[in-house]
Structure 1
Amino acid sequence: MSAQISFTIESPHGSRTASIAYRRTGAGEPLLLLHGIGHHRQAWDPVLPALAAERDVIAVDLPGFGESPSLPESVRYDLTTMGATLGALCEALGVERPHVAGNSLGGLLALELGREKLARSVTALSPAGFWTETERRFAFATLLAMRHGARALPLPVIERLAGTAAGRAALTSTIYARPGRRSPEAVVAETLALRDATGFEQTLAAGRSVLFTDDVPDVPVTVAWGSRDRLLLRRQGIRAKHIIPAARLVRLPGCGHVPMNDDPALVARVILDTSR
């Protein structure tokens, strides 16, 4: 079951009200899950049962994605604002310094929460922000192509493609190493999430100048990278390790950019190990 919560955030133009959709399940120490750009909270469904067995799991739709409305007008999607928004969300939910796991954009936001001492631990799966300019341009061009493709396809065509392994590969092989494992229903839902994301362009625009260059001291950090990540190449994990020397750098064999579907057991174990 999903829920939505509204809370106050500060902006250059004064206080504004933001709303975020989320699903909360399980028991234990709190664990906040953050998806990537163009995705939605259901990206975490393959690992949710294992995580919820040990943690109070809160999977959110970031502003302008999934079921969450966009940020209020005049509020930017930059890293500082998004970090503060997620901090305000946790306060509204009565959660103090959760463990945080994020993928891609969500991994970058998880590291930002760690840097601001708003997280107990951070697991960043293929986090954004450790690219060269050439690598960033490639990733953004790929994401834009995926977005344009999703918006160009009528729903019946998306459903027909998702009904076959070859079609699911055509729709999602950029982010999954094993797209055939994704259910047809999930592929349809995430293609529509990419198509309908109201925060996509503003988030992408804010990311053009993003580089994560600060250490995250005094917080357990794991940076994990899929060996078959085609969007953000795994050499970026080496750069992350240089910037965050105490981080544990983990290879995810056979996994793509969104590894939760490719190897749920491994990803869940990495997150839980970090949060312990």
Structure 2
Amino acid sequence: MNSAVAGSAATGRLAVPDAELAWERAGSGDPVVLVHGSWDDRRSWDRVVPALARAHSVVRYDRRGHSESTAPPGQGSIVEDAEDLLAVVDALAGGRAHLVGHSYGASVVLLAAARRPSAVRSVTAHEPPLFALLREDPAAAAPLAEAAGWMRRAAELIESGDAEGGARAFVEHVGFGAGAWEGLFGPEARATIVRNAHTWLDQHRDPDRLAVDPSALANAGVPVAVTTGTATLPTYRAVVAALTRRLPELTVLPVSGAGHAPHISHPDVYADLLLTRLRTGS
């Protein structure tokens, strides 16, 4: 592990099996590890890190295959992402940390906590796309089918060489809603999304990516909360409802006015919510 330190901030690269992860850390106190979602990278947390770092040691990293992190050729899996996260906790957070994940990163956080509860002080997951939970829910059939169709379309566009078209199709029709491509993301963020399109395509081909079983956390002794935007898309609303049925002890925390990316659209509100959650564990 190589690192460069300036004051309380540090950056470096962590070797994990078949990959290297670019990471950074800020602040001091109880460790928190932030896990970004699909398409983007650790910079998506920029607007909430300063507030969190006033009370915590905040670690964030690019998941394998994203931006400054590497990945081997061949099909990846969400299990690899979960093991990477646990390696980050061991190497950079003293072996036990609060985990905060967004979207696909929330699925990674839940899986990591289920695989090794002893490494996790608490889980805060924002709208994990566990769409497999909706297959037996007739009320979710229409939005689930629509999301699946748009994901197939995004994959087709990327495979044909139109990474930007695929990214835009996903952002506006699966992830964040109409107008989000330009209304939520600036030019730099859009460029990052396009650069990471092929890593999303690899995730899309992983048969286990949407089927993380949250029931393993029911008796794991890890406090689990799901945050959800009050203006989020129907598919995510249905997933949150499905999670509450499977995890009776789950805490659901609404983010007023936000959608699927509160750390970008409502950073102050979301940071305050996280700080309260991390302080109280509920």
TM range, smaller chain: 0.7 to 0.9
Question: Are the equivalent residues in 2 in contact too, given 1:226–1:257 (CA < 8 A)?
Answer: yes
In structure 2, give the amino acid aligned to 1:89: V
Task: Count residues in correspondence.
Answer: 253
Letter in 2 for 1:241: T
Greater Cα shift, 132-141 or 170-179: 170-179
CA drift at 1:253: 2.8
1:139 to 2:147 alignment: yes
Relative to structure 1, the CA distance from residue 94 to residue 103 in structure 2 (aligned partners, 3 Å threshold; closer, same or farther) is closer
Q: CA deviation at 1:203?
A: 5.2
Q: Secondary structure, in 3 states, of the residue corresponding to 1:232? A: helix
8 Å CA contact retained: 2:229, 2:254: yes
Correspondences of 1:1-276 after superposition (within 5 Å): 2-7=11-16, 16-70=17-71, 72=72, 76-79=76-79, 81-93=80-92, 95-115=94-114, 116-117=116-117, 118-129=119-130, 131-133=133-135, 134=141, 138-146=146-154, 151-152=161-162, 172-174=171-173, 175-176=175-176, 179=180, 180=183, 182-193=185-196, 195-197=197-199, 200-202=201-203, 204-207=205-208, 210-214=211-215, 215-216=217-218, 217-230=220-233, 232-276=235-279
User: What amino acid is aligned across from residue 152 of structure 1 in structure 2?
Assistant: D
Please tell me whether the aligned partners of residues 35 and 105 of structure 2 are also in contact (alpha carbons under 8 angstroms): yes
Change (3 A) 1:227 1:75: same
Q: Kindly state the Cα deviation for residue 106 of structure 1 after the two structures are TM-superposed.
A: 0.8
CA shift, 1:47, in A, is 1.3
**Contact 2:24/2:60 (CA < 8 Å) preserved in 1?**
yes
Query: How far apart are the structure 2 equivalents of 1:208 and 1:122?
Result: 19
Distance (whole Å) between structure 2 residues aligned to residue 267 and residue 39 of structure 1: 18
**Alpha-carbon separation, structure 2, partners of 1:66 and 1:273:** 31
The aligned amino acid for 2:150 is: T
Aligned partners of 2:38, 2:205: CA distance in 1, in Å? 8
Partner Cα distance (2:234, 2:201) in 1: 17
Identity of aligned residues (%): 25
Structure 1 range deviating more: 109-118 or 203-212: 203-212
Match of residue 10 from structure 1: none
Aligned Cα root-mean-square deviation (Å): 3.2
Aligned residue identity for 1:92: A
Is this contact kept in 1: 2:33–2:100, CA < 8 A?
yes
How many Å separate the matches in 2 of 1:82 and 1:260?
21
TM-score, with normalisation over the residues of structure 2? 0.75
Conserved 8 A contact 2:150-2:170? no
The aligned amino acid for 2:22 is A
TM value normalised by structure 1: 0.77
Q: Is the 8 A contact 1:63 1:69 kept in 2?
A: yes
The offset of 1:33, in angstroms, is 0.8
CA distance in 1, matches of 2:189, 2:82: 28
Query: What's the offset of the Cα at 1:213?
Result: 3.8
Which residue number corresponds to residue 138 of structure 2?
Answer: none
Q: Distance in 2 between matches of 1:18 and 1:176?
A: 29
Q: Give how far 1:126 is off.
A: 0.3
- Deviation digits for residues 198-230 of structure 1, max 9, x if unmatched? x63245423366142413442222101123323
Deviations 1:214-265 (A, max 9, x none): 1344222210112332373312212111222112112223222222112111
Report if the CA contact (8 A) 2:107-2:212 is conserved: no
Question: Structure 1 residues 261, 176: closer, same or farther in 2, change over 3 A?
Answer: farther
Asked if the contact 1:37/1:200 (under 8 Å) is kept, the reply is: no
2:3 matched to which residue of 1? none
